[in-house]
Amino acid sequence: MEGLVFNPSRSKEMALIVQKYGGTSVGSVERIKNVARRIAKWQNAGHQVVVVVSAMSGETNRLIGLAKEIQKNPDPRELDVVASTGEQVTIGLLSMALKAIGKKAKSYTGPQVKVLTDSAFTKARIKEIDAHRILSDLEEGNAVIVAGFQGCDEEGNITTLGRGGSDTSAVAIAAALKADECLIFTDVDGIYTTDPRVVSDARRMDVVAFEEILEMASLGSKVLQIRSVEFAGKYKVPTRVLSSLTDPDIPVEEEANSGTLITFEEDPKMEKVVVSGIAFSRDEAKITLPHVPDIPGIAYKILGSVAEANIEVDMIVQNAAKNGLTDFSFTVNRNDLDKAIRVIESEVSPYLEEDGILTDASIAKISCVGIGMRSHAGVAAKMFKVLAEENINIKMISTSEIRTSIVVDEKYMELAVRALHKAFGLDNAPTAME
């Protein structure tokens, strides 16, 4: 996206704001009308507004379901053609809703913008965004409504960005426009220390460091798609997560300071908090290849073929060798388990012993995240102590500079999350670990 930023002349009183609304926020005609009122409010305050929307809640699942009724494993190119229509409906309805209340608006699909992507159908990556058309419409006083989740490749084929791709669309468009802020409106009022549905004492964070939210997104937190966070970090896009379920007429000043702000500035106060949040993911599966030869290049033999099949590998453990053999384990998304097994059987079978491939699809990953870990020791030890007291066995461990992750049996996940959340004092106002 280098060189594709066209910065319009704006006064300090006029900000260019990108707003993103998820499926729940536009899930009915009434909610779409409320979104239109919210956009109009920002326009009336003197701001230029670009809006990125998802399909209405449940619509993408419905469309994919239809495709699977036709073809058990839908052709990826044609699946993108089908799945992208959900957002097209939303942009048209939202533009109409704005016009119905006397506001100028124009809707565009991703290809119309043009959001140029690679050709990896169903999980394409953005290469460039042409901002000319959007900027021209803004200067004419329009609210510009863009379909998230979609773009087109060099050949003009419709592509989609994968689940949660509308977040990525929004932040990427904000980067291309050099927007003053990107507001991610969702059905929660910000980013919490963990999922409030699992831990009732979970607390909303006013500010979260970019590195922390990057880790939390990569670890299974569903608030933001990982690629949207990467975009925000690369292009330093100020990004705020806030609620779309508030009164659409609340003052702009109040709304502009609500939710959780993702910050890129070093704050000494933030480093005093050792653990900022706990992320978890149920969508994990473990693959173990027992007794493979402990020889140079074996990891590449196994994981290279998996990577070529576009399957993301997460945690990796290789045991100490015994008699020239080792056990090799790694985790993948549960939805990719069958595909990964097929790849391994076809590409790595010469290295497999009679034990074959062992799998476990009933695991969960739990991660403690915090930039304060850089300057505080003992987080992992405290984690292990808490889980031992709850009699929860740890199957895998992985660490980074600001994160410690473990794999446990899925049935113990919620118990583990609640225990860790309490042990690190996340139910209280931020304090340093004793």
Cross-strand partners of 277: 369
d(CA 427, CA 89): 41
First to last CA, the chain: 45
Task: Give me the residue spans of the domains in the chain.
Answer: 16-188+223-265, 277-423
CATH number of 277-423: 3.30.2130.10
CATH of domain 16-188+223-265: 3.40.1160.10
Please state, rounded to an integer, the average pLDDT across all residues of the chain: 89
Q: Which residue has the tokens 């990427």?
A: 172
Q: Give SS3 for 108.
A: strand
What b/e sequence results for 412-434 when a residue is b if at least 16 CB atoms lie within 10 Å of its CB, and e otherwise? bbbebbbbbbebbbbeeebeebe
DSSP state of 72: S
- CA atoms of 369 and 356, how far apart (whole Å): 35
Record the tokens describing residue 54, joined without a space.
């998802």
Nearest CA among 54, 83, 88, 79 for reference residue 166:
54
Which residues of the chain register pLDDT less than 70? 1-13, 219-222, 266-272, 351, 353-355, 429-434
Torsion of CA 178, 179, 180, 185, to 10 degrees: -150
Beta-carbon contacts of residue 349 (< 8 Å; ≥ 6 apart): none
Q: What is the pLDDT at residue 213?
A: 87
Any idea what the Cα angle at residue 393 is, between residues 363 and 194, rounded to 5°?
60
Q: What is the pTM of this model?
A: 0.78
* DSSP-based three-state secondary structure for 40: helix
Q: What is the pLDDT of residue 394?
A: 95
Residue 137: enclosing H or E segment and its boundaries? helix 132-139
384-391: long-range contacts (C-beta < 8 A, 24 or more apart)?
386/419, 386/420, 386/423, 387/416, 387/419, 387/420, 389/419, 390/415, 390/416, 390/419
- The tokens describing 407, both together, are 């794999």
141 sits in the region (left: phi over 0; alpha: psi -120 to 50; else beta) called left
Residue 378 confidence (pLDDT): 85
Position of tokens 């060798």? 321
What per-residue confidence (pLDDT) applies to 9? 44
Spatial contact of 185 and 21, defined as CB atoms under 8 Å apart = yes
* Selection from 204, 210, 196, 271 nearest residue 239 by Cα: 210
The pLDDT, as a whole number, for residue 269 is 58
The confidence score (pLDDT) of residue 216 equals: 82
In 3D, which of 149, 151, 293 has the Cα closest to residue 227? 149
Which pLDDT value is given to residue 283? 86
